[in-house]
Structure 1
Amino acid sequence: MDLVRSDDLQAEARRTRDVVAAELVALGVAGELELTGATSLPGALTRGDVDLHLRVPADLFDETVGLLRTAYPVASPTAWAATLAVFGIPGTLPTGLAVTPVGSEHDVRFVTGWRELRNRPELLEEYNRLKREASDEADYEERKSAFFTALGRAGTAYP
């Protein structure tokens, strides 16, 4: 798996977030768009993709997903759940948009996990090591899921 330092991509990742934010406004989508994932963290290793997280009011989740289906291709359909939708965003860097209702299990997992990585350098190093040691894409995805599940079990909770 080819990895690069996130620092080299952060400016482009922020531009991508800003472009998508403008597109969401034009679509009439309400919510809070965050740059998340490795490209949001200085010192993180990344595969070179951009992760965006759109947090929407729970009562607008289904409507929002419907609007987004008209604008973006569905991505990772096997990852979809009652409180998670994922879309691919065309652009210079591969970009995924995860959509969650605020306060849902997936929302808390995303927000808490990335906050912990941002605030605890030892966790970021562990996450980087997990990426370096993964034998292939499937191994990486399995390790990453276990890592974020363990973070959730450690008692961290979204305030």
Structure 2
Amino acid sequence: MTQGTADKFTLMTGEDLTQAARRTFFAFKDFWAPKFPDGAKIEHVGASAIPGCLTRGNVDVCVIVKPEMFDDVREKLAGTYDVDIDVEAGDDFAAFVDPACRPPLQVQLVVRDSGMDIFVPFRDAMVQDPAIVTAYNVLKKEMVGKPMLEYRSAQDAFITYVLENGAAPKR
């Protein structure tokens, strides 16, 4: 098992990074789509999937499955990637990392319509409302150099607010 995040929060920028993120996502999708059961959905989520959003330089992929597919897909992913020990897994969520991939790859496996099926709705809210992206970028800039746990806590609160209210938090 590998720790999936750095000790301190950092940001990266650049069009090369955006293109590399797209290539990494499509390589993942092309490789895994035929190996997953019918009905599994593979989505590019996270900052690298959102125009104008600042990123840590990694690629987040979300694999969304029916409950009966979860264990099978988790086993397949665990046979290829490291378990991300920085996040708590459960019956409806598991996370994996490939730190050797460039840019680094993070995979979120979620059960469709579960409490953890938040990644695509959050991405879609950001794509639809540039004010949310702007507020998220402000949050990220404020977190540079701070411990990852502090960033994760602020990020979780931000995501929860956006999903519950359909807008960025007032600052």
Range class of TM-score, shorter chain: 0.7 to 0.9
Of residues 10, 33, 38, the one that matches 1:2 is: 10
**Structure 1 counterpart SS, 2:119:** helix
Of residues 61, 65, 83, the one that matches 1:56 is: 65
> 1:69-125 deviations in whole A, cap 9, x for unaligned?
112211135421221111113411111000111111111x11211111111111100
Partners of 2:114 and 2:67 in 1: how far apart?
Answer: 8
Q: Residue 17 of structure 1 corresponds to which residue in structure 2?
A: 25
Unaligned 5+ runs, structure 1:
none
Structure 1 residue runs of 4 or more that deviate by more than 3 Å after TM superposition: 5-8
Identity of aligned residues (%): 27
Give the alignment of 1:75-90 within 5 angstroms: 75-76=84-85, 78-89=87-98, 90=100
> 1:14-44 deviations in whole A, cap 9, x for unaligned?
1111221233146x21321111100011111
Give the alignment of 1:63-142 within 5 angstroms: 63-76=72-85, 78-89=87-98, 90-107=100-117, 109-134=118-143, 135-142=146-153
Q: Residue 29 of structure 1 corresponds to which residue in structure 2?
A: 36
Counterpart of 2:11, as a letter, is: L
When the two structures are superposed, what TM-score results if normalisation uses the length of structure 1?
Answer: 0.87
Greater fraction of residues in helix = 1
Contact 2:125 / 2:166 at 8 angstroms: preserved in 1? no
**Structure 1 counterpart SS, 2:90:** coil
**Structure 2 counterpart SS, 1:42:** coil
Contact 1:6 / 1:46 at 8 angstroms: preserved in 2? no
Q: Residue 6 of structure 2 corresponds to which residue in structure 1?
A: none
From the superposition, tell whether residues 154 and 6 of structure 1 become closer, same or farther in structure 2 (CA, over 3 Å).
Answer: farther
Contact 2:17 / 2:103 at 8 angstroms: preserved in 1? no
**RMSD of aligned alpha carbons:** 1.9
From the superposition, tell whether residues 6 and 46 of structure 1 become closer, same or farther in structure 2 (CA, over 3 Å).
Answer: farther
1:137 to partner: Cα distance: 2.0
Contact 2:43 / 2:120 at 8 angstroms: preserved in 1? no
Aligned residues: 154
Unaligned 5+ runs, structure 2:
1-8
